[in-house]
Structure 1
Amino acid sequence: MNIKSLLLGSAAALAAVSGAQAADAIVAAEPEPMEYVRVCDAFGTGYFYIPGTETCLKIGGYIRFQTNFGPDLDLRGKSRGRGTSDWDTVTRGQLQIDAKNDTELGTLESTIVLQTNADLAGNGGATKLDTASFKIAGFKFGYYYSWWDDGIAGETDVLQSNSLFNSISYTYDGGAFKAGISVDELEGIGRTAALPALPNDFLLEDNAFGVAAMLSGSVGGVTATVLGGYDNDREEGAIRAILTAAIGAGTLNLAGIYATDPNAYYNESKWTVAASYEFKATDKLTITPAAQYFGDYAFIDGVDAWRVGLTVGYKITAGLKALATVQYQDVDKTATYKQVGGDETTGFLRLQRDF
């Protein structure tokens, strides 16, 4: 081997070693593992874990397109001579956020519902807080719909006057048997005028609150619920009973209310009875005829009223449904209160996309 060959071999060896050292110096570190959103199946479908927490979140809501019709509608689609239009179309967007996680006291639940309605002129309305509540160990706190919001099938009945309150409640849920009690803030409910316009009207009161209690039991396909509410400031109350029973291809609903005098929970009439039958014609089509009778309507002695209605619901496809309803109401006329009495036909057509 000559000197030239030896030098070339040494240079090649040195180059190889240097290259290996350089390669070791620039090796990139492996990327940190990324935490993707994980499905949470502990509380039903639609929930996912908030990254980095054990809290499960669900986002849902609906978009509703509805046309109301009836004589002299106001901006809220209400009739009875409070407006000038015979029809109006309202579009509503509602967003609901539910959060749940397990604790040593049981499941901690919270709900926020935001709602926006477009008015008659087509202008977007202000977004309002429809619900904000949390619940744990049977106790519920916040701004939410009370048991008075529950009714019977169909769109005909009027079984509550107010049902959305700032409340504290406790519910015992034994499966087939349930019982609950709530304390509701009633301040802000009532008229601001100096004098009531009708016997069932009452003025705003400061420091007003109410107490409601509920009992419910189910046996087979029959469920009975009794609910009472006491308006502490006006010292009046109402009691309501609802019975539902699975009969044939549908469900029969019966309801009755008695009120001692006008109060925040019920001031439509002194007493009332209502019935409806929710008939499942097909998997997609539901037909619900209903009727209701009011005794001492608007708490006017001897003035009665009755109404009949039909509600038809149809599931167009997954997430999209239609609802149509028409109601006819007749109220006895009275010489004392000219704004009470007569008959009217009202209703609406609705398309709703749920998600």
Structure 2
Amino acid sequence: MNIRMVLLASAAAFAASTPVLAADAIVAAEPEPVEYVRVCDAYGTGYFYIPGTETCLKIEGYIRFQVNVGDQVGATDDRPNDSDWDAVTRGQVQFTAKSDTEYGPLTGVIVMQFNADNASDQNAVLDSAYLDIAGFRAGLFYSWWDDGLSGETDDIGSPVTLHNSLRYQYESGTFYAGISVDELEDSPFYDGETSNNWGVAVGLGGTDGAFSYQITAGYDTDNEEGAVRAMGTVDVGPGTLGLAAVYSTNPNAYYNAAEWAVAAEYAIKATDKLKITPAVQYYSNYGIDGSDFADGDAWKVGLTVDYQIVDNFYAKASVQYLDPEDADDSTTGYFRLQRSF
């Protein structure tokens, strides 16, 4: 037997005498359970369940680019002779949370708004934040006096419409009625005081087929003056006719543009994407003279054009001409692009 055969035999004998050790088993880690976002369709489109809860959340908002035009439209204290145009940008996001309770849906809303006149002149504001349950609403929100006709010509609302308020509103399918107590400390004062002003407002409205209506009233306790307003719209031909009238006993937080005013517009649905709205407003005793309305009257005419470029993206252009009896006339307007989501 040669050396080669001896070596092979020795190797075979060693292998046979060596115990075979089993390799450690490879155990795969159990995957963490994944809770996918569930759609919540109980409150309409866009809601989803917050993972691990029964609360439904909706996130929406818009991005807006706008160019304002008019005399001194971009003027400020440090730029008193600025040009007659000014570009601004806004981003707004709204969070709406809803959950079922024995009293009905519990709603919470937060609206944040971010505005930029330029890179160094920007601000972030809380545009709304309120809770709502069983018709009761409390927090920072817009009053009924923020509502208006669909165009941009009418001037029939409060100078400040966002208040800390407590409100109750009854709603049926086609009718609502409510009352609110509003903190008016950032509204105009005409009696020389700057106290923690408050007021009471009431609103009712509804729809009846092609007709809609709204009546709003408010009493400013500090200025001891009040105002009342009525609005209505009705479908006529290819568009919607809107009419409004407002009366104020004297300048107050709810209305201070004139002693009384009437407005009219006709929103023409030219195509599925194009709406054209000519409008006019007449003011009696326009403006403020001390703590009273002035004696002169005023006229305002305007045109607003809305065009939907694609879904959730539209353009708007508006121009307004104001001719007061006791002041210089003026022309203002803007062009807007807005993407909603």
Q: Same fold (TM over 0.5)?
A: yes
Q: Distance in 2 between matches of 1:98 and 1:301?
A: 44
Structure 1 position 138 matched with structure 2 position 124:
no
Q: Secondary structure of the residue that 1:342 maps to in structure 2?
A: coil
For the 8 Å contact 2:261–2:284, the answer to whether it is kept is yes
For the 8 Å contact 2:174–2:207, the answer to whether it is kept is yes
Partner of 2:4: none
Q: Secondary structure of the residue that 2:45 maps to in structure 1?
A: coil
**Kindly tell me: are residues 209 and 248 of structure 1, through their superposed partners in 2, closer, same or farther at Cα, counting changes over 3 Å?**
same
Q: Secondary structure of the residue that 2:329 maps to in structure 1?
A: strand
Partner of 1:222: 211
Partner of 1:167: 165
Amino acid at match of 1:314: Y
2:115 alignment partner, one of 110, 114, 117: 117
Partner of 2:301: 308
Structure 1 position 183 matched with structure 2 position 172:
no
Deviations 1:62-119 (A, max 9, x none): 111101011122458xxxxx76431111011111111111111101111111111112
Q: Secondary structure of the residue that 2:132 maps to in structure 1?
A: strand
Partner of 2:235: 246
Q: Distance in 1 between matches of 2:142 and 2:210?
A: 26
Partner of 1:337: none
Partner of 1:152: 149
Partner of 2:30: 30
Partner of 1:338: none
Q: Distance in 1 between matches of 2:339 and 2:75?
A: 23
**Kindly tell me: are residues 272 and 30 of structure 1, through their superposed partners in 2, closer, same or farther at Cα, counting changes over 3 Å?**
same
Q: Distance in 2 between matches of 1:188 and 1:50?
A: 36
**Kindly tell me: are residues 74 and 265 of structure 1, through their superposed partners in 2, closer, same or farther at Cα, counting changes over 3 Å?**
farther
Q: Distance in 2 between matches of 1:205 and 1:232?
A: 13
- Residue 165 of structure 1: CA displacement? 0.3
Partner of 1:71: 71
Structure 1 position 318 matched with structure 2 position 311:
yes
1:105 alignment partner, one of 103, 106, 122: 103
Partner of 1:273: 262
- Residue 210 of structure 1: CA displacement? 0.3
**Kindly tell me: are residues 112 and 204 of structure 1, through their superposed partners in 2, closer, same or farther at Cα, counting changes over 3 Å?**
farther
Q: Distance in 1 between matches of 2:251 and 2:230?
A: 18
Q: Distance in 1 between matches of 2:112 and 2:200?
A: 27
**Unaligned ranges ≥5, structure 1:** 1-7, 77-81, 192-200, 334-340
Amino acid at match of 1:236: E
For the 8 Å contact 2:245–2:263, the answer to whether it is kept is yes
Q: Distance in 1 between matches of 2:113 and 2:329?
A: 33
TM-score norm. by structure 2 comes to 0.88
Structure 1 position 352 matched with structure 2 position 338:
yes
Alignment of 1:275-294 (within 5 A): 275-294=264-283
Q: Distance in 1 between matches of 2:263 and 2:155?
A: 9
**Unaligned ranges ≥5, structure 2:** 1-12
Amino acid at match of 2:332: T
For the 8 Å contact 1:188–1:204, the answer to whether it is kept is no
TM-score norm. by structure 1 comes to 0.84
Range 67-76 or range 52-61, more displaced: 67-76
- Residue 223 of structure 1: CA displacement? 1.5
Identity of aligned residues (%): 56
Partner of 1:95: 93
- Residue 305 of structure 1: CA displacement? 0.3
Q: Distance in 2 between matches of 1:38 and 1:70?
A: 49
Q: Secondary structure of the residue that 2:123 maps to in structure 1?
A: coil
The two structures, once aligned, show a CA RMSD in angstroms of: 2.1
Partner of 2:8: none
Amino acid at match of 1:127: A
Structure 1 position 342 matched with structure 2 position 328:
yes
Partner of 1:79: none
